[in-house]
Amino acid sequence: MKLPYFILDVFTRDRLAGNPLAVVLKADGLSGARMQAIAAEFSLSETVFVLAPKDERHTNALRIFSPITEMAFAGHPTVGAAVLLGLQSRMSAVRLELGVGLVTAVMERIDKRTGHARFALPRLPERVGGAPADDEIAGRLGLAPDAIGLDGMRPAQYSAGVSFYLVPVRDAAALEAVKLDRRGWADTFSGQRSSVYVFTRTPDERNNDYAARMFHVAHGAGEDAATGSAAAALIGLLSDQPQYHDGHHTIRLRQGREMGRPSLIELQFNTEQGQLRHAGIGGSAVVLAEGMIDLDD
């Protein structure tokens, strides 16, 4: 069995920036265990496997794996796969079956190896839990307790299919100063994933409105360069703030700068009478490499 694969950099138009992604095509003959083993071999934050759809009206089905587990939804694999499939088929929209539901991604071709995709979230983000005390959070992040919180926003857990601890900090200097203390991390941030998305406003930066960093210490993955599922969860917290009630909102969020992998994630959402009605994310992706997986005996 030989399977074509591509490596893309996602949430960027620049090669060797953004969040790298492996996309394996024609993966219908693989078992879930084989997919997991291939994802571990690539050792990227996620690998996506493209399969024939269950419904012939749809473009493809996707299965998404981290090096250690399958995921029902992740943003950068969805954007990257949508861009690659759109580039290959010249379609302006692809309908993708994910574990969390059907996603219709609108794709714009930028050049022969670069595209931009955006899609409505199949599940609106919602608050799913509270957060530890500020001093506990600050201790894990290497910050002073008074750095936690931003313009009335408080730490909490939100999910749009994948749960994250969302931690607002007072400014970009505090975000950059984060230095993890891994001892007791899973005790402070309990749960299956223990993933923490630290974010702040960036009023002094021209090209974005917010900045964020994502830490997934419990499973040893460390920091992530661009995390669409966390950005999707963040829409839930933002939509609960008075300044975002009633209207259409577009936000540009940077991530990965502190890792030397700058990324830009676009968020869109609508609220009516204080209720979130629609949410979506988008971004660019560029093909970096392609090759063939050889599983023949």
- Specify the 3-state DSSP secondary structure of 58: coil
Looking up tokens 């299919």 gives 161
| Selection from 64, 69, 51, 74 nearest residue 3 by Cα | 51
Kindly list the catalytic residues: 46
- Per residue in 237-270, pLDDT tens? 999 999 998 999 999 999 999 999 999 999 999 9
* Domains 2-120+284-294 and 126-280 equal at CATH topology level: yes
| Residue 211 burial (CB count, 10 A) | 22
Higher confidence at residue 29 or residue 296? 29
Q: What count of Cα atoms within 13 Å lies in the side-chain half-sphere of residue 134? A: 13
pTM of the shown model: 0.95
Cα radius of gyration rounded to whole Å, the chain = 19
Q: What is the Cα–Cα distance from 233 to 229, expressed in whole angstroms? A: 6
Look up the CATH superfamily of 2-120+284-294: Diaminopimelate Epimerase; Chain A, domain 1 (3.10.310.10)
Q: How far is CA 38 from CA 78, 92, 222, 237, in A?
A: 18, 30, 20, 35
Q: Which residues of 45-80 are buried (b: 16+ CB within 10 A; e: fewer)?
A: bbbbbbbebeeeebbbbbbbbbbeeebebbbbbbbb
Question: Residue 274's pLDDT is what?
Answer: 87
Name the residue ranges covered by the structural domains of the chain: 2-120+284-294, 126-280
- Per residue in 116-130, pLDDT tens? 999 999 999 999 999
Cα dihedral sign for 161, 167, 172, 176? negative
- Per residue in 152-203, pLDDT tens? 999 999 999 999 999 999 999 999 999 999 888 989 998 877 899 999 999 9
The H or E element spanning position 234 is helix 228-239
Look up the CATH superfamily of 126-280: Diaminopimelate Epimerase; Chain A, domain 1 (3.10.310.10)
Beta-strand pair 275-294/163-168: unpaired
